[in-house]
Amino acid sequence: MFVARSIAADHKDLIHDVSYDFHGRRMATCSSDQSVKVWDKSENGEWHCTASWKTHSGSVWRVTWAHPEFGQVLASCSFDRTAAVWEEIVGESNDKQRGLSHWIKRTTLVDSRTSVTDVKFAPKHMGLMLTTCSADGVVRIYEAPDVMNLSQWSLQHEISCKLSCSCISWNPSSSRAHPPMFAVGSDDSNVACGGKVQIYEYNENTRKYGKAETLMTVTDAVHDIAFAPNLGRSFHVLAIATKDVRIFKLVPRKESSSSGPTKFEVQIVAQFDNHNSQVWRVSWNITSTLLASSGDDGCVRLWKANYMYNWKCTGILKGDGSPLTGLSGQPTAMSTVVGSSVQTSQNALNGMSAGRIGKRAPFAPPLRQLTSPKIYQHPAYY
């Protein structure tokens, strides 16, 4: 792993969230400075800020992209008790030339009476739906019935979780076998309040979300949760950031009746306390082969399962307080740092070209300075 480039985000205060768009060509950042910035990646991989605007009257906690099927749409949530939906409009051509884009506010969702702590779009197969959760313990699900008119959002569901909510995650599975489902986490630190992760599931008959499960073993404050892509499996995988990193498997029980919510057998798959204290974020990569977590130890840790489903830490990112040398600079190859007794090989191999197939010319490493077969200990991805 190596730092390919560093981008001066130029926010006037703490950055709280950075979010990639679906294709990884754009990103949005939000900050305590009450603004959101949108960045576009150019052909050569450089990031350019194409929009920056004040979005809220308080710290902006999270920013997230809608699926591109719905156009270029962002949602943000803030300490100012609101969530907002933003849409990019295709501006005048001279704006484009200057590399700027216009974002206009389509709606402000003002139903919460406390800080809105998380905002997430539902999986795209459900249509354009937005979910918020707030410190007052309410999850709200909004829907834009007309995707061409994003100024109209109707509050479809209001689910009271009783505990101050900190995070939500939708189960991305679009399989018909799985009804829409989300998990909500609470950062209430009172252990006596019981399980801090609740699973809600949509019921076709009542047309309401009902609680399917509470993870009773997670009693400490939860700061983040993330469902893994389903990969066509019958069970679901959920990562939780609490006082440690935990990975759970939710296996639907066979006997659950068709009318009531699905009951799950909850199995813990892995638990890591390497962050020493609170864990603040967890997130899966696209195919859920890697889980990243960040915590009080100041590290981002990468976790990976091998083919026998044993989980291990395979990488650590850590701030070292060193000054930044050269912005957006050349990639600094880690192998050159790691390799200890590296010899510069400035000699020809032996001039003879290796035959493609069949008889091979002998391959002589150079005489004067020997290039020896050598393995530099590298990230353990296995």
Residues of span 52-81 touching another protein by CB under 8 A: 68-72
Question: Is 311 a residue that touches another protein (CB under 8 A)?
Answer: no
Across the strands, what pairs with 104? 87
Pick out residues in 252-291 that bind another protein (CB under 8 A).
278, 280-281, 283-287, 289
Question: Is 340 a residue that touches another protein (CB under 8 A)?
Answer: no
Letters for 124-163 (x = contact with another protein by CB under 8 A, - = none) are x-----------------------x---------------
Question: Is 44 a residue that touches another protein (CB under 8 A)?
Answer: no
* Phi, then psi, of 129 in degrees rounded to 5: -130, 145
Question: DSSP for 141-205?
Answer: EEE-SSTT-TT--EEEEEEE-SS-EEEEEE-----TTS--EEEEEE----GGG--SEEEEEEETT
CA angle 299, 301, 302 (to 5 degrees): 160
Of 201-209, 245-253, 257-265, 300-308, the segment contacting another protein by CB under 8 A is 300-308
Does residue 160 contact residue 137 with C-beta atoms inside 8 Å? Answer: yes
120, 196, 223, 246: residue in contact with another protein (rule CB under 8 A): 223
Tell whether the torsion through CA atoms of 179, 180, 185 and 186 is positive or negative: negative
Nearer to another protein, 160 or 310 (CB): 310
In angstroms, the CA 53 to CA 110 distance is 20
Question: Is 360 a residue that touches another protein (CB under 8 A)?
Answer: yes
Of 16-24, 50-58, 177-185, 250-258, the segment contacting another protein by CB under 8 A is 16-24
Q: What is the DSSP letter of 125?
A: G
Pick out residues in 98-117 that bind another protein (CB under 8 A).
none
Of 1-9, 97-105, 200-208, 258-266, the segment contacting another protein by CB under 8 A is 1-9
Nearer to another protein, 256 or 369 (CB): 369
In whole angstroms, the minimum distance from the beta carbon of 259 to another protein comes to 29
- Strand, helix or coil for residue 126: helix
In angstroms, the CA 105 to CA 379 distance is 44
In angstroms, the CA 171 to CA 201 distance is 10
In whole angstroms, the minimum distance from the beta carbon of 283 to another protein comes to 6
Letters for 178-217 (x = contact with another protein by CB under 8 A, - = none) are ----------------------------------------
Number of residues in contact with another protein, rule: CB under 8 A? 119
User: Amino acid letter at 327?
Assistant: L
Does residue 51 contact residue 103 with C-beta atoms inside 8 Å? Answer: yes
Of 136-144, 197-205, 248-256, 345-353, the segment contacting another protein by CB under 8 A is 345-353
In whole angstroms, the minimum distance from the beta carbon of 82 to another protein comes to 18
Question: Is 29 a residue that touches another protein (CB under 8 A)?
Answer: yes
CA angle 194, 140, 165 (to 5 degrees): 30
